[in-house]
């Protein structure tokens, strides 16, 4: 029998080469008992091919049972497929035959086979390999002679990788694969299917058949049809029932197409160079981290510079010296003190500058005057000087400097950031981090 007669017998519409190839494979594999896996998107008509295989096989006089595996609850799927004994579970008031027992000598079509739970997949694998199964609640092994044809619209490779489908079962089912193309991959068949459905509904509802103008036909063929043949059939029925006018143009047809933006239209390819963009979120995160590291390094340098230029007294100088050493160690930089720590202050008790070369007279401009603090001190009682322990935490120093900069510039973050030598974004982040009012 040729392909054209097979299409007429089973009501298959289309002249696509990929569709003809699928029909040809089904006819060739039919005389064997090999397992067949039919794949394709939802709504492409996968249910016709198990019927072709059954009718052209030696089992055509045996039973043909189609089972939607996704429609059976997980708790009862084993009972439905393999049967159960009386009292095997609550509600099992009598023994029951399963589909594999009923379909003995014939063909069973397992639609949406990827929806089977893993425990049922193990049972199915045993049936395919040995022809044996055990009823729920029984210990007796039973034999069955059945041809299995399965179908799924799931990406089986992804299901295997995620642990939702057994790899050994896939290879056992996929002895002969048949792929059914999506409707958008056989656009030459779209108008033929529309005419078939329009005539069928016109006869069913006893009304004139729909007619499409040229613009409406182009719209029909350029739409992506995510629901494939099932969607085309439903929309044709809607228009047939709702629209009183039998001549349908593009504007009327467009109202029934959801997601109209999915229509495939020619696009203009621009050869202009696009600005550089980040390839992934990971690259964006790396960029932010590098910026933060650079800002932190700048802030450390600023703290070091301020501490080196502004010692207030001998005790503070020693503490600053320790803090500077700690900062340089954290940045792996050799430390060379700029201002050696001295025991004698550069000002006398009367406030006169003594010209000590280790101190700069500009210190009075950079911090509190040492003269004011040492006016009542005498060099003879230097050993009784009180040392106040300060925190050496970098976070405390950063918070202190940021607070002073904001106070100095009246809360203006832009000016404070320029004063601190950091970006305004980093300053804003630090204000939130330290909870600075």
Tens of pLDDT, residues 67-94: 999 999 988 999 999 999 998 888 888 9
Residue listed under structure tokens 């043909």:
64
Asked if 117 and 65 sit in the same domain, the reply is yes
Query: Last residue of a domain, which of 148, 181, 214?
Result: 181
Q: How many domains does the chain have?
A: 4
Tens of pLDDT, residues 182-228: 999 999 999 999 999 999 999 999 999 999 999 999 999 999 999 99
3-state DSSP assignment of residue 178: strand
Enumerate the β-bridge partners of residue 311: none
The candidate with the shortest Cα–Cα distance to 185, out of 226, 241, 154, is 226
Q: State the average pLDDT for the chain.
A: 81
Asked if 382 and 399 sit in the same domain, the reply is no
Asked if 357 and 415 sit in the same domain, the reply is no
Q: Please tell me the predicted confidence (pLDDT) of residue 407.
A: 84
Who contacts 229 (Cβ-Cβ below 8 Å, separation ≥6)?
Answer: 43, 44, 45, 183, 193
The pTM assigned to this predicted structure is 0.59
Asked if 201 and 346 sit in the same domain, the reply is no
Query: Last residue of a domain, which of 162, 181, 200?
Result: 181
Query: Last residue of a domain, which of 390, 405, 427?
Result: 390
3-state DSSP assignment of residue 336: coil
- The CATH number given to whatever domain includes residue 398 is 1.10.10.60
For residues 104 and 120, what is the distance between their CA atoms, to the nearest angstrom?
Answer: 19
Asked if 384 and 398 sit in the same domain, the reply is no
The boundaries of the domain holding residue 428 are: 281-297+393-437
Residue listed under structure tokens 């069928």:
200
Establish if 193 belongs to a structural domain: yes
Whole-number Cα distances in Å, 32 to 57, 99, 289, 296: 7, 21, 63, 73
Asked if 254 and 358 sit in the same domain, the reply is no
- pLDDT over 70 percentage in the chain: 74
Contact present, 98 and 107 (Cβ < 8 Å): no
């Amino acid at each position: 029998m040729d392909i054209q007669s097979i299409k007429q017998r089973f009501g298959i519409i289309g002249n696509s080469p990929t569709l003809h190839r699928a029909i040809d494979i089904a006819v060739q594999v039919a005389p064997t008992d090999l397992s067949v896996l039919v794949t394709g998107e939802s709504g492409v008509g996968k249910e016709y091919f198990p019927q072709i295989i059954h009718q052209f096989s030696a089992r055509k006089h045996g039973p043909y049972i189609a089972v939607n595996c996704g429609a059976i609850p997980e708790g009862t799927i084993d009972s439905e497929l393999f049967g159960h004994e009386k009292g095997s579970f609550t509600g099992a008031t009598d023994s029951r035959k399963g589909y594999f027992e009923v379909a003995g000598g014939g063909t069973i079509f397992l639609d949406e086979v990827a929806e089977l739970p893993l425990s049922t997949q193990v049972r199915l694998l045993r049936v395919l390999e040995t022809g044996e199964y055990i009823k729920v609640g029984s210990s007796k092994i039973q034999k069955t002679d059945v041809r299995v044809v399965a179908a799924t619209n799931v990406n089986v490779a992804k299901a295997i990788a995620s642990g939702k489908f057994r790899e050994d079962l896939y290879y056992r089912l996929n002895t002969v694969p048949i792929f059914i193309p999506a409707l958008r991959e056989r656009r030459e068949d779209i108008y033929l299917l529309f005419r078939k459905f329009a005539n069928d509904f016109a006869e069913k509802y006893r009304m004139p058949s729909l007619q499409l103008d040229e613009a409406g036909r182009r719209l029909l063929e350029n739409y992506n049809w995510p629901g494939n043949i099932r969607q085309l059939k439903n929309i044709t029925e809607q228009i047939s029932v709702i629209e009183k006018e039998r001549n349908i143009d593009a504007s009327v047809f467009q109202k029934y197409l959801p997601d109209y933006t999915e229509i495939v239209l020619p696009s203009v390819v621009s050869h202009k160079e696009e600005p550089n963009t980040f390839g992934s979120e990971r690259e964006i995160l790396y960029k932010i981290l590098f910026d933060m590291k650079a800002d932190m390094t700048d802030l450390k340098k600023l703290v070091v510079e301020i501490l080196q230029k502004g010692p207030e007294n001998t005790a503070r100088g020693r503490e600053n010296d320790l803090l500077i050493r700690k900062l340089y160690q954290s940045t792996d930089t050799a430390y060379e003190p700029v201002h050696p720590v001295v025991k004698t202050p550069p000002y006398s008790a009367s406030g006169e500058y003594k010209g000590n070369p280790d101190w700069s007279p500009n210190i009075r401009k950079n911090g509190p005057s040492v003269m004011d603090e040492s006016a009542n001190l005498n060099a003879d009682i230097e050993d009784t000087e009180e040392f106040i322990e300060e925190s050496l935490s970098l976070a405390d120093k950063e918070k202190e400097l940021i607070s002073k900069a904001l106070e100095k510039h009246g809360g203006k973050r832009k000016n404070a950031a320029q004063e601190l030598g950091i970006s305004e974004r980093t300053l804003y982040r630090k204000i939130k981090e330290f909870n600075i009012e």
